[in-house]
Amino acid sequence: MLYRCQYHARATMNDSAISSDTLERLRAIVGPAGLVDEPAARAAYLNDWRDLFHGASPLVLRPASTAEVAAIVAVCNEARIGIVPQGGNTSLVGGSVPGAAGDEILLSLSRMNRVRHVDPINYTMTVEAGCILAEVQRAARDAGRMFPLSLAAEGSCQIGGNLSTNAGGTAVLRYGNARELVLGLEVVLADGSVWNGLRGLRKDNTGYDLKQLFLGAEGSLGVVTAAVLKLFPAPTDTATAMVAMPSVEAAPMLLAALREASGDAVSTFEYMHRACLDILEAHTDLGDPFDARYEHYALVELTSSRPDAGLGALMETALAHAFEQGIAVDAVIASSGAQAERLWRMRETLPEAQKNLGAGIKHDVSVPLSKVPEFIVRATEYCERTVEGVRVVAFGHIGDGNVHFNVMQPVGADVTTFISRGGEITSRVHDIAAELDGSFSAEHGIGVLKIHELERYKSPVELDLMRALKRTLDPNNIMNPGKVINQS
Q: What is the domain-level CATH number for residue 362?
A: 3.30.70.2740
pTM of the model: 0.91
Residue 448 domain flag: no
Measured on CA atoms in the order 19, 25, 28, 33, is the torsion positive or negative?
Answer: negative
What size, in residues, is the chain?
488
CA torsion through residues 377, 383, 385, 390, sign: negative
* Domain stops at, among 108, 124, 140: 108
In a shared domain, residues 342 and 298: yes
Kindly state whether residue 475 falls inside one of the protein's structural domains.
no
Q: Return all residues near 209 (Cβ < 8 A) that are at least 6 apart.
A: none
Q: What CATH number does residue 45 fall under?
A: 3.30.43.10
Q: Does 424 map to a domain?
A: yes
Q: Nearest 10 degrees: CA dihedral of 449, 455, 456, 458?
A: 120
- Judgement on whether residues 131 and 185 belong to the same structural domain of the protein: yes
pLDDT tens digits in sequence order for the chain, 488 residues long = 333 333 233 333 344 478 999 999 999 999 999 999 888 888 889 998 887 889 999 999 999 999 999 999 999 999 999 999 999 998 889 999 999 999 999 999 999 999 999 999 999 999 999 999 999 999 999 999 999 999 888 999 999 999 999 999 889 999 999 999 999 999 999 999 999 999 999 999 999 999 999 999 999 999 999 999 999 999 999 999 999 999 999 999 999 999 999 999 999 999 999 999 999 999 999 989 999 999 999 999 999 999 888 999 999 999 999 999 999 999 999 999 999 999 999 999 998 899 999 999 999 999 999 999 999 999 999 999 999 999 999 999 989 999 999 999 999 999 999 999 999 999 999 999 999 999 999 999 999 999 999 999 999 999 999 999 999 999 999 999 999 998 76
Q: Are residues 124 and 209 in the same domain?
A: yes
Chosen domain end from 216, 233, 250: 233
- Give a yes or no: residue 305 inside a domain: yes
Q: Which residue range forms the structural domain that includes residue 26?
A: 15-108
Please tell me whether residues 229 and 241 are part of one structural domain.
no
The CA dihedral of 426, 430, 433, 438, to the nearest 10 degrees, is 140
The answer to whether 483 touches 448, Cβ cutoff 8 Å, is yes
Q: At which of 185, 217, 233 does a domain end?
A: 233
Both 171 and 242 in one domain: the answer is no
Same domain, yes or no: 252 and 344: yes
Same domain, 229 and 242: no
Assigned domain for 261 exists: yes
Residues 135, 96 within the same domain = no
**In terms of domains, do 222 and 142 share one?**
yes
Query: In this structure, what DSSP letter does residue 158 have?
Result: B
With a CB cutoff of 8 Å and minimum separation 6, the contacts of 123 are 145, 230, 231, 232
Q: What is the DSSP letter of 235?
A: P
We report the CATH number of the domain holding residue 336 as 3.30.70.2190
Same domain, 139 and 213: yes
Task: Of 362, 349, 379, give the one whose Cα is nearest residue 276.
Answer: 349
Specify whether 124 is located in the same domain as 214.
yes
Cα gap 450→441, rounded to integer Å: 8
Check whether residue 227 and residue 242 sit in a common domain. no
76 domain-assigned: yes
**CATH classification at residue 214:** 3.30.465.10
Q: Is residue 440, in this structure, part of any structural domain at all?
A: no
Query: Within 13 Å, how many C-alpha atoms sit on residue 26's CB side?
Result: 29
Specify the number of domains making up the chain: 4
Q: HEC string of 338-404?
A: HHHHHHHHHHHHHHHHHHHHCCEEEEEEECCHHHHHHHHHHHHHHHHHHCCCCEEEEEECHHHCEEE
Does residue 431 lie within any of the structural domains?
yes
